């Protein structure tokens, strides 16, 4: 039986330890949001293994963010290694302009500090880190030094996942990234927020449960049908009909 959480599934101590590099980056003045598994666990209550600390920054500040982290945390060094989730069989990375820092210090890594940091251009996930309406802080209690660190809101995170599924970086589709990263995130967010192992619909009426309907609130109009379909069927297929619907919404938006 699954356990559903009303708070982060990890301790405040672990959250504080994981966010050490984020506190360092904050001192640079570079705007950013925490993405990936840390966002799922810390603010959306999804129990998940924590891999790279994934940080989205403005596209033109990726190098500056890396340089600042290396200056302040020299134990982290740039590496070309990437998680299997980001690579196709031919070795092409789904996030080609991201930069990864790996712990390579001779001293022991601080407790709960991430093994690696992934600095990602915000456009790779169709996100605007400067739009504060699309991000939020941690849920109390938390260490006061973490109070200004931002994470995607639920609608913003769902939009980022769905937008990236339909519009991958450089138009290049990556099966591993879509199935092992984006689709997994989407499934976890729905499961642990609808909080019903039997699905997102009422078995008698076939209507979405109230918690499922709530996930549609605040989404970009072009993503509502896809998420509604996913919650009803469990399918992550991007059918021609769904693509056409997104295109209609795009064309209807004012220039």
Whether the pLDDT of residue 255 is over 70: the answer is: no
* pLDDT of the residue at 197: 86
Dihedral sign, CA of 21, 82, 104, 113? positive
Question: Is 207's pLDDT higher than 80?
Answer: yes
pLDDT, residue 249, reads 84
Q: DSSP string covering 204-247, please?
A: TT-PBPHHHHHHHTT--HHHHHHHHHHHHH------HHHHHHHH
Report the alpha-carbon distance of residue 164 to residue 122 in Å, rounded. 11
% of the chain exceeding 70 in pLDDT: 100
Residue 253 has pLDDT above 80, yes or no: no
Q: What is the pLDDT of residue 28?
A: 98
Q: How many angstroms separate the Cα of 231 from the Cα of each of 114, 187, 203?
A: 33, 9, 13
Average pLDDT, the chain: 95
pLDDT in tens, 129-172: 999 999 999 999 899 999 999 999 999 999 999 999 999 999 99
Residue 56: predicted pLDDT:
98
Model confidence pLDDT, tens digit, residues 80-125: 999 989 998 888 899 999 999 999 978 889 899 999 999 999 999 9
Q: Is the pLDDT of residue 46 over 90?
A: yes
What pTM was computed for the model? 0.96
């Amino acid at each position: 039986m699954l356990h559903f959480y009303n708070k982060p599934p990890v301790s405040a101590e672990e959250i504080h330890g994981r966010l050490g590099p984020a506190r360092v980056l904050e001192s640079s003045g570079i705007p950013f949001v925490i993405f990936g598994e840390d966002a799922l666990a810390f603010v959306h209550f999804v129990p998940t293994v924590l891999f790279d600390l994934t940080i989205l920054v403005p596209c033109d500040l990726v190098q500056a963010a890396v340089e600042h982290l290396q200056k302040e945390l020299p134990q982290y060094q740039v590496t070309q290694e990437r998680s299997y989730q980001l690579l196709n069989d031919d070795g092409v990375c789904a996030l080609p302009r991201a930069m990864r820092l790996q712990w390579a210090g001779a001293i022991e890594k601080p407790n709960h500090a991430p093994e690696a940091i992934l600095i990602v251009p915000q456009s790779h996930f169709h996100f605007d880190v400067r739009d504060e309406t699309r991000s939020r802080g941690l849920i109390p209690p938390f260490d006061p030094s973490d109070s200004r660190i931002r994470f995607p809101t639920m609608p913003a995170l769902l939009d980022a996942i769905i937008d990236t599924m339909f519009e991958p970086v450089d138009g290049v589709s990556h099966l591993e990234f879509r199935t092992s990263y984006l689709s997994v995130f989407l499934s976890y967010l729905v499961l642990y927020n609808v909080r019903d192992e039997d699905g997102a619909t009422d078995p008698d009426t076939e209507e979405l449960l109230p918690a499922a309907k709530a996930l549609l609130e605040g989404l970009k109009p072009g993503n509502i049908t896809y998420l509604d379909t996913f919650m009803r069927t469990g399918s992550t297929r991007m059918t021609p009909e769904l693509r056409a619907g997104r295109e209609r919404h795009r064309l209807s938006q004012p220039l």
